[in-house]
Amino acid sequence: MVQIDLEAMSLTELKVLQKKVAKAVDEFEERQKNQAIAALEAKAREMGFSLSELTGSTQGKARRKPAAPKYRHPDDASITWTGKGRQPAWFKTAVTSGVSPDDLLV
């Protein structure tokens, strides 16, 4: 292992080293995790299953189905908004021009 004289390093050099070490640790843990998953998948296949069948889940984040549209553009029915998040410009324009949000409901 390489010996590093931390006392001789500047604060900037120490911070750069800290970031490199944190990145190396994260990459190591990710490699270990991937190896463990591969070993578990191989064992599951050997026994005639998939890993997701045994755990009851899929890898990665579960996908949420898209929210149903709540509001429709007054002139173009193909443009919709779910009512969540930032209001689209067409919705703001319609409301400020006197259209009730209830009139824009799907």
Is residue 65 situated within a structural domain?
A: no
pLDDT (0 to 100) of residue 81: 93
Is residue 27 situated within a structural domain?
A: yes
Is residue 42 situated within a structural domain?
A: yes
> Does one domain contain both 12 and 51?
yes
pLDDT (0 to 100) of residue 22: 96
> Does one domain contain both 50 and 21?
yes
Q: Among candidates 33, 34, 37, which has minimal Cα distance to 45?
A: 37
Looking at the 3D structure of the chain, how many domains does it have?
2
pLDDT band at 1 (very low <50, low <70, confident <90, very high): confident
Is residue 63 situated within a structural domain?
A: no
> Does one domain contain both 40 and 14?
yes
Q: pLDDT at residue 59 above 60?
A: no
pLDDT band at 63 (very low <50, low <70, confident <90, very high): confident
Is residue 75 situated within a structural domain?
A: yes
Mean residue pLDDT of the chain comes to 90
> Does one domain contain both 51 and 75?
no
Structure tokens at 89: 């410009």
* Structural domain boundaries enclosing 85: 71-104
Q: Can you tell me the distance from the alpha carbon of 104 to that of 86, in angstroms, rounded to the nearest whole number?
A: 16
Q: pLDDT at residue 57 above 80?
A: no
User: Looking at the chain, how many residues does it have?
Assistant: 106
Q: What is the DSSP string of 51-103?
A: HHHHHTS-SSPPPPPPPPP-EE-SS-TT-EE-S-SSPPHHHHHHHHTT--GGG
Over the stretch 6-53, which tens digit does the pLDDT of each residue have? 999 999 999 999 999 999 999 999 999 999 999 999 999 999 988 888
**The pTM is what?**
0.48
> Does one domain contain both 78 and 50?
no
